């Protein structure tokens, strides 16, 4: 599929990562909230994973299942469509976010309803569904607690699993007090920042919406091709309400969320909860297959979303990002995310996975997308914790190469223009000079000797655009003798020196 790609409208026009991160890094409250939350989750995850003696095997199995599925995605998607249809559902194909939004808006309008309840869904945030529904007079209510906080606070999500991770309890109390009344049942009088009181206020606020809504909208963590079953895992039970109470259920799911069989689910239902919430299993695992008379929604629609995924799949290195099961473990260990927060990534997908997924789904034409492959120290902590072994540093370097080269994004002929990020012109000149020197051994040797003999005259910091780099690093001293000269002197010219 191809077509124009839609980004979450709430993130449109975001500045490049360094600029956006600068604001976050200078916010001590935000830094404190992020540090506390990520360190707590990462420690619990490590304990939960350490309980399993076969974690490495599970990780490899998850990787293999996802790779196999992606290799045969066309076949499994057709199988899924047939299974869902047989079970009483209707499948819609959306090449991009605009098409998906149009389909969902039409389906809701056909029910005659002007309100929908939503279970947390990254795919619908990716395409800006709430805003598209609002444009046609339909109000979407987020029901995941963290998403509710984000929606009431007119905010943007900043974490995959905990979208309001940047908020502390006092801030949440203030948001509930000032905003709940405009969306429905107001916050109770005298609401404090005690977690039980905040949870109860949200429960009462949401309960009336669940009981009233006739249309529910969801995403899915997995889709099983062999039976057409969709799976949502969550911790609160609000998702279960959205999935079972409304008369019509519309699920918007990225095409990469498919697994071939129920047996494959076994692996991910072990690795996902331990990696995300550090639980042995999710408190709520909801599964539904089409429709069933007298049980749950009477109409079920599945909107299969591409929105750049086919292009990502066409890239041999970058396609591994499609293995992601959105556990958020990579965010919680990332030193850059911990300081910059999620908003700086300019997308619903923050952190290390966002840094490799957004520039592939959207291309690198915007300032923020061209800067994301650089939003990493390449320390590799993300790769170590990833339950499907996505080599995020490898993809980051691959995408940096593309940004610098300004080459095409896709290999299927659809040209996506990549613009080199600001300041990369100097890097390109430096790389060309290095290529020239390394392909001429005589010139390289002469240059090394000149550098050695003049080493006491070398500046301690780089001039021009290199100044920012050397401001926080020591330039390595040039040795008095190059390796080649040392080799020739001590080994009597056996190879090496030319």
Which 403-462 positions form the footprint of ligand SF4 (CB under 6 A)?
none
Least spacing, CB of residue 272 vs ligand SF4, in Å? 8
Q: Which is nearer to ligand SF4, 108 or 381 (CB)?
A: 381
Q: Where do we find the tokens 């009483």?
A: 88
Which 259-278 positions form the footprint of ligand SF4 (CB under 6 A)?
275
Least spacing, CB of residue 131 vs ligand SF4, in Å? 25
Q: Which is nearer to ligand SF4, 276 or 482 (CB)?
A: 276
Q: Do residues 241 and 211 touch, judged by C-beta distance below 8 A? A: no
Q: Do residues 303 and 104 touch, judged by C-beta distance below 8 A? A: yes
Q: Which is nearer to ligand SF4, 322 or 367 (CB)?
A: 322
Give 472: exposed, middle or buried? Use CB within 10 Å, 0-12, 13-18, 19+. exposed
Token digits of residue 99? 């098409």
Distance CA 142, CA 195 (A): 19
Number of residues that bind ligand SF4 (CB under 6 A): 15
Token digits of residue 460? 């301690």
Distance CA 432, CA 421 (A): 17
Half-sphere exposure of 226 (CA within 13 A, CB side): 8
Stretch that binds ligand SF4, among 7-15, 194-202, 233-241, 319-327 (CB under 6 A): 319-327
Assess 70 for contact with ligand SF4 (CB under 6 A).
no
Q: Do residues 321 and 65 touch, judged by C-beta distance below 8 A? A: no
List the one residue from 324, 344, 375, 396 that touches ligand SF4 (CB under 6 A).
Answer: 324
Q: Which x/- pattern over 145-184 shows residues binding ligand SF4 (rule: CB under 6 A)?
A: ---------------x------------------------
Looking only at the bridges linking them, the beta strands covering 229-234 and 284-289 are antiparallel
Distance CA 391, CA 380 (A): 8
List the one residue from 70, 146, 233, 329 that touches ligand SF4 (CB under 6 A).
Answer: 329
Which 230-259 positions form the footprint of ligand SF4 (CB under 6 A)?
none
Token digits of residue 405? 């080269």
Which 336-375 positions form the footprint of ligand SF4 (CB under 6 A)?
353
Neighbours of 498 (CB within 10 A): 10
Stretch that binds ligand SF4, among 5-13, 72-80, 135-143, 328-336 (CB under 6 A): 328-336
Which 370-389 positions form the footprint of ligand SF4 (CB under 6 A)?
385-388
Q: Do residues 217 and 163 touch, judged by C-beta distance below 8 A? A: no
Q: Do residues 213 and 155 touch, judged by C-beta distance below 8 A? A: no
Q: Which is nearer to ligand SF4, 73 or 388 (CB)?
A: 388
Q: Which is nearer to ligand SF4, 10 or 328 (CB)?
A: 328
Q: Which is nearer to ligand SF4, 159 or 301 (CB)?
A: 159
SS3 273: helix
Assess 395 for contact with ligand SF4 (CB under 6 A).
no
Least spacing, CB of residue 389 vs ligand SF4, in Å? 8
Stretch that binds ligand SF4, among 48-56, 206-214, 299-307, 325-333 (CB under 6 A): 325-333
Strands (E) located in 119-247: 139-142, 215-218, 222-224, 229-234
List the one residue from 140, 224, 390, 399 that touches ligand SF4 (CB under 6 A).
Answer: 390
Shortest CA distance to 36 belongs to which of 166, 196, 170, 172? 166
Q: Do residues 375 and 17 touch, judged by C-beta distance below 8 A? A: yes
Stretch that binds ligand SF4, among 79-87, 170-178, 208-216, 324-332 (CB under 6 A): 324-332
129: left (phi over 0), alpha (psi -120 to 50) or beta: alpha
SS3 386: coil
What residues does 232 pair with on adjacent strands?
Answer: 286
List the one residue from 325, 334, 348, 368 that touches ligand SF4 (CB under 6 A).
Answer: 325
Give 390: exposed, middle or buried? Use CB within 10 Å, 0-12, 13-18, 19+. buried
Least spacing, CB of residue 397 vs ligand SF4, in Å? 16
Distance CA 100, CA 102 (A): 5
Assess 327 for contact with ligand SF4 (CB under 6 A).
yes
List the one residue from 205, 326, 343, 424 that touches ligand SF4 (CB under 6 A).
Answer: 326
Which 273-302 positions form the footprint of ligand SF4 (CB under 6 A)?
275
Distance CA 431, CA 429 (A): 5
Q: Do residues 303 and 250 touch, judged by C-beta distance below 8 A? A: yes
Least spacing, CB of residue 274 vs ligand SF4, in Å? 11
Q: Which x/- pattern over 103-142 shows residues binding ligand SF4 (rule: CB under 6 A)?
A: ----------------------------------------
Least spacing, CB of residue 332 vs ligand SF4, in Å? 9
Q: Which is nearer to ligand SF4, 43 or 450 (CB)?
A: 43
Binding site for ligand SF4 (CB under 6 A): 160, 275, 324-330, 353, 385-388, 390
């Amino acid at each position: 599929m191809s077509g124009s790609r839609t980004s979450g409208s709430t993130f449109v026009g975001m500045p490049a990562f360094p600029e956006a991160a600068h604001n976050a890094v200078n916010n001590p409250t935000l830094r404190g909230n992020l540090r506390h939350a990520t360190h707590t989750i990462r420690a619990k995850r490590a304990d939960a994973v350490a309980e399993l003696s076969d974690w490495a095997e599970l990780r490899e199995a998850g990787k293999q299942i996802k790779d196999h599925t992606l290799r045969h995605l066309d076949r499994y998607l057709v199988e899924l469509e047939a299974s869902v249809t047989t079970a009483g559902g209707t499948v819609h194909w959306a090449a991009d976010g605009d098409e998906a939004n149009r389909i969902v808006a039409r389906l809701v309008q056909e029910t005659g309803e002007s309100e929908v309840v939503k279970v947390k869904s990254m795919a619908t945030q990716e395409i800006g569904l709430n805003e598209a529904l609002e444009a046609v007079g339909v109000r979407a209510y987020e029901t995941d607690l963290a998403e509710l906080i984000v929606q009431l606070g007119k905010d943007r999500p900043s974490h995959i699993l905990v979208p309001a991770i940047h908020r502390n309890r006092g801030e949440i109390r203030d948001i509930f007090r000032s905003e709940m009344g405009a969306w429905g049942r107001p916050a109770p009088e005298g609401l404090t920042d005690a977690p039980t009181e905040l949870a109860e206020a949200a429960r009462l606020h949401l309960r009336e919406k669940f009981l009233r809504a006739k249309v529910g909208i969801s995403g899915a963590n997995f889709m099983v091709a062999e039976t057409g079953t969709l799976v949502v895992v969550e911790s609160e039970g609000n998702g279960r309400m959205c999935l079972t109470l409304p008369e019509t259920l519309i699920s918007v799911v990225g095409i990469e969320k498919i697994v071939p069989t129920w047996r494959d689910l076994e692996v991910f239902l072990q690795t996902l909860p331990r990696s995300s919430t550090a639980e042995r299993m999710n408190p709520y695992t909801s599964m539904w297959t089409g429709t069933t008379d007298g049980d749950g929604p009477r109409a079920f629609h599945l909107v299969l979303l591409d929105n750049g995924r086919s292009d990502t799949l066409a890239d041999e290195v970058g396609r591994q990002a499609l293995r992601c099961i959105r556990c958020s473990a990579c965010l919680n260990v990332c030193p850059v995310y911990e300081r910059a927060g999620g908003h700086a990534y300019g997308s619903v997908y923050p952190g290390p996975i966002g840094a490799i997924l957004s520039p592939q789904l959207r291309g690198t034409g915007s300032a923020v997308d061209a800067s994301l492959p650089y939003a990493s120290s390449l320390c590799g902590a993300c790769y170590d914790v990833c339950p499907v072994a996505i080599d995020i540093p490898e993809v980051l370097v691959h995408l940096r190469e593309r940004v610098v080269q300004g080459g095409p994004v896709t290999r299927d002929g659809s040209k996506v223009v990549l613009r080199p990020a600001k300041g990369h012109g100097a890097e390109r000149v430096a790389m060309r000079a290095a290529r020239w020197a390394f392909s001429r051994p005589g010139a390289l040797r002469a240059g090394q000797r000149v550098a050695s003999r003049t080493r006491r005259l070398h500046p301690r910091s780089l001039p021009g655009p290199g100044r920012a780099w050397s401001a926080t690093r020591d330039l390595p001293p040039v040795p008095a003798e190059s390796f080649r000269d040392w080799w020739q002197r001590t080994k009597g010219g056996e190879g090496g020196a030319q």
